[in-house]
Structure 1
Amino acid sequence: MRSLIIPAYVPTQGLEAPGWSEKGLRTASFFAANLLLFLLVLQTTTRKQDVFAYLKVMANVSAIYALYGLAAYFAGGEYVLWFKKPDNNDIALSSTFMNRNNYATFVGLGLLCGATITIDSLLTRARGRRPGESHLRRLITYPGGNIWIYVLGLILMTTAAILTASRAGVLAISLGVGTLVLLSLPRLRPSVRLGILTGLAASLLVLISISGDLLLDRLSLENGSGVRLIIYDLILGNWASNPLSGVGLAQFDSLFSVYRAENIAQPILRAHNDYLEFAYTAGTIALFFLLVPPILLTRIYYRRLSDGSGPYPQFTLGIASSVLVGVHSSLDFPLQIPAVGFYYAIIQAMVYSLTRPVSK
């Protein structure tokens, strides 16, 4: 494949001079906002009840988004709110998002929050069931409300995720939920483990059989993967021109609008791999600072799980959310979407707050 050779920091017709362009400043401001939101949530989360409140709000908001998305989908799927979708052939569910792949990441994070509440409910029931109290009553009654509300939300969000027909999104969500469940199972009784696994498998099969035709059709297609491989090859072939500082933050669409390869017909606005795009435009040093925090946080959560300290469903949420976002970011661009970035920052902040001494 032909490499794309562009000298770094040399302005070209139709291409902004790399560096702190207007788009670069907007992108930098977005990442700074994520950091500030993380610090704000961390500062204001001083009690365990605060974490539970965040979980409830995020799970419920995601369920409401899923409910709207399902209503819009069954109404024809041609509009996002009052805006008509730019692609008339795109009838996949995207809720209030223009891009279904980005919505898949968003709903996946909400699904993880709802699943964490459900798992915490099971553990609370197992630990606190009074003599003579039925398992069913203990299951559906939960300190934060009736658990059936969150189970209904999980059904809505799972159905919405399937109807996005996002191959990478569904894969990332599956790995995230799988991580959450597998890290939680060792502490559950064998009967509860079997019940959870059986219920998850049966529910997924039923939902796919009812509403998964579009997803199955996309899984059988190969279009798009070839273009992405060409893009990846171009990035890797030219990343060495300026590996440390990159060719200019947020300059990717400008580069490819002028210099895309001859065998790519359509406009390319994103690299469909956040890590490669960030390394190419912002440089390896910036990519290092982007990757290190979630890796360190995951290590902290896993150590807390290993020594048995703290409310482990929330620690598994911290790990599972990084798995979901990490996997999907290697195949698409969810890290560049504010709603996804803010949700992920809130999850990581509230989970990390549990590593500090907090009030009951």
Structure 2
Amino acid sequence: MFKLFLYAILLSPIPFGANRAWAWNLYALLLAATGLTGCVAVLLGKTDIRVSLEPVKYPFYLVCIPVVWSLVQQSGFLPNGWTHPFWQLTGEQLPIPVEAYISLSPQETATALMKLVSYLVVFFISLQFNRDSGRAAVTFKSIAYAGLVYAVYGLIVYLGGFDTVLWFEKSVYRESVTSTFINRNSYATYAGLTLLAAFPLLFEKIQSSFQYGIKSYYGRQYFFENILVRAWFPLLLVITITTALFLSLSRGGCLSTALAVFALFTILLVSRRIKNNAAAIFLFVAIGLVSAGVLKQSGDQLIERINDISSEHQDRWLVYDILSKANVENRWLGVGYGSFEKSFRLYRDETISAYYDKAHNTYLENIFELGLFQASALFLAIFLAALLCLRGVWVRRKDWIYPAVGFSASVLVGVHALVDFSLQIPAVAFTYALIMGAAVGQASSTRRGRKTSG
């Protein structure tokens, strides 16, 4: 069942990042079936998985707040003073009774809640399975290999000038690598996550090359031979994904990934868990040189985009300003989880020229939809999970690289969420939840575990 679950998540980017109604509904059903099957197997003693919420009980309690509140927002049994004014106006115009809700669009709220619960299920299943270090290694390696496959596909489409996504002609971002995603920013976030997942594999090869040091002739010879023989594939994997990432031309995706990689190597050096700091320094320098080389060869357009301040981004600042004011007005109840597209029409003015179905700032959008307290509980739950990963780097005696990647992945999606909506794309959210489940599963000491030593 673990492999089926893992393959399902790895395949989620294929149907346009699973960002289609049929795709996210199908995944919701598959994940629900997987979760129920796992629970039955545990109850019947047919599996060695030990189900527990203990490591994440506080994030779990916090995330229950927005989940329950989303149910309340689409409920018709509420005080009149709580409901959205739109429903009152509608009732005044129609001769029949109109049921009122907090949410301006209860159906969209139900859909958004279904997606959120699906992400939580992925995290929970990943957490239970990946308490075993062997499974965690398979999970991170599989994510990295999947990232390589999607990167190669994206590069073939881009370099071949096919201008397609699967068998459909591209309508936007023809000049960018988007792989199986429609939006280049969404692909960039996904590529960044898979790049981070490749570092445990690469670091293992690099660190083993320093087994005899580099001061002696034999040590240097062993180092270079080991790099060429054992580390060539992880290096090729990193180079390929990095190239596809740069060619996505996503400013936010590239910069947030760079910050996440910097955070990862800072953790590796500061934690003092590395047997040989030269390994981390060498790896960081190597990645920097590779990135600089790739950027020099294929990053001209990206550099131009970084230097460009377009009217689109000026519009975004206007959107942020309007949302900040609207969030003061709706700070406690929100306008309905997932209802941004319809609700924002009531607040936008003639100063905004473009159409916005997303706020391009997940934090402001969630506060707008859920309310300040409820959205803050969701943010805090993710933040606490990231802190569990950071703590795990110091708690673990080995396999601490996995929680380090989990924290860095949180940096990536957290920073990119300030300027885009990539975390609202199901395949990206599934992959992040999969990484975090494995990272948190490996973030605590496992001396009491059955299989994993920590």
TM-score by length of structure 1 reads: 0.88
Alpha-carbon distance in 2 for matches of 1:188, 1:103: 35
CA deviation vs aligned residue, 1:140-187 (integer Å, no higher than 9, x gap): 66xxxx532222111111001100111111110000111112211353
Q: 2:359 aligns with which of 262, 268, 271?
A: 271
Distance change in 2, residues 1:190/1:40 (3 Å): closer
Aligned residues: 347
Letter paired with 2:366: F
Greater C-alpha radius of gyration: 2
Aligned-residue offset at 1:114 = 0.6
1:303 offset after TM fit, Å?
2.5
Residue in structure 2 matching 1:155, options 236, 239, 242:
239
**Higher relative CO (CA 8 A, sep ≥ 6), structure 1 or 2?**
1
Look up the match of 1:57: 142
Q: Distance in 2 between matches of 1:340 and 1:51?
A: 19
Secondary structure in 2 matching 1:158: helix
What is the match of residue 3 of structure 1? none
Shift of 1:308: 5.8
The runs of at least 4 consecutive aligned structure 1 residues that moved more than 6 Å come to: none
- Once residues 126 and 318 of structure 1 are traced to their aligned partners in structure 2, the CA distance between those partners, rounded to angstroms, is 25
Query: What amino acid is the match of 1:112?
Result: L
Partner of 2:289: 202
Q: Does 1:119 align with 2:203?
A: yes
Match of 2:304 in 1: 217
**Partners of 1:257 and 1:86 in 2: CA distance:** 25
1:242: Cα distance to partner? Answer: 1.8
Q: Give the aligned partner of residue 95 of structure 1.
A: 179
What is the CA distance between 1:46 and its match in structure 2?
4.0
Q: Does 1:340 pair with 2:428?
A: yes
Per-residue deviation at 1:259?
Answer: 4.2
Looking at structure 2, the residues matched to 40 and 158 of structure 1 have their Cα atoms a distance apart, in angstroms, of 29
Structure 2 residue aligned with 1:38: 123
1:183-218: per-residue Cα shift (whole Å, max 9, x none)? 113535354344223322221111011111110121
Change in 2 beyond 3 A, CA 1:188/1:209: farther
Kept in 2, the 8 Å contact 1:250–1:281? The answer is yes
Cα distance in 2 between the residues matched to 1:304 and 1:126: 25
What aligned pairs does 1:20-35 form with structure 2 within 5 A after superposition?
21-35=106-120
C-alpha displacement of 1:124:
4.3
2:381 pairs with 1:293: yes
- Preserved contact between residue 248 and residue 281 of structure 1 (Cα < 8 Å): yes
- Indicate the SS of the match to 1:350: helix
Answer yes or no: is the 8 Å Cα contact 2:207–2:279 preserved in 1. Answer: no
Q: From the superposition, tell whether residues 46 and 299 of structure 1 become closer, same or farther in structure 2 (CA, over 3 Å).
A: closer
The equivalent of 1:325 in structure 2 is: 413
Residues 44-73 of structure 1: per-residue CA shift (max 9 Å, x gap): 224211000001110000110000000111
- Aligned-pair distance for 1:85? 2.3
Distance 1:72 1:264, change over 3 A: same
Q: Check whether the contact 2:259–2:412 (CA below 8 A) recurs between aligned residues.
A: yes
What letter corresponds to residue 75 of structure 1 in structure 2? G
Q: Do 1:114 and 1:154's aligned partners in 2 also have CA atoms closer than 8 Å? A: yes
- How far apart are 1:93 and its partner, in Å? 1.0
Task: Tell me the distance in 2 between the aligned counterparts of 1:55 and 1:139.
Answer: 21
Determine the structure 2 residue equivalent to 1:189: 276
CA deviations 1:59-97 (Å, max 9, x no partner) are: 00011000000011112262211122223x642111100
TM-score, scaled to structure 2:
0.71
**Counterpart position of 2:85:** 10
Residues 1:188 and 1:221: Cα distance change in structure 2 (over 3 Å): farther
Return 5+ residue gaps in structure 1 as ranges. Answer: 1-6
Aligned-partner SS, 1:135: helix
Q: 1:337 to 1:322 in 2, by over 3 A?
A: same
Call closer, same or farther: CA 1:79–1:356 in 2, change over 3 Å. same
Q: Which residue identity does 1:21 align to in structure 2?
A: P
1:167–1:215 Cα contact (<8 Å) kept: yes
Q: Percent identity?
A: 27
Compared CA separation, residues 121 and 244, structure 1 to 2 (3 A): farther
Change (3 A) 1:17 1:100: farther
Match of 2:56 in 1: none
1:313 equivalent to 2:398? Answer: no
Residue 307 of structure 1 and its aligned partner are, at CA, apart by 4.9
For structure 1, which segment, 95-104 or 117-126, has the greater mean C-alpha deviation from structure 2 after superposition?
117-126
AA of the residue aligned to 2:170: K
Q: Distance in 2 between matches of 1:79 and 1:18?
A: 41
One-letter amino acid of the counterpart of residue 294, structure 1: I
1:69 corresponds in structure 2 to: 154
Contact 2:393 2:401 in 1 (8 A): no
1:215-265 deviation per Cα after TM superposition (whole angstroms, max 9, x unaligned): 012112101221111000000011122212201111111123454220212
Q: Distance in 2 between matches of 1:217 and 1:326?
A: 25
Amino acid at match of 2:321: D
Structure 1 residues 210-249: aligned runs within 5 Å: 210-223=297-310, 224-249=312-337
- C-alpha separation between the residues in 2 aligned to 1:204 and 1:135? 22
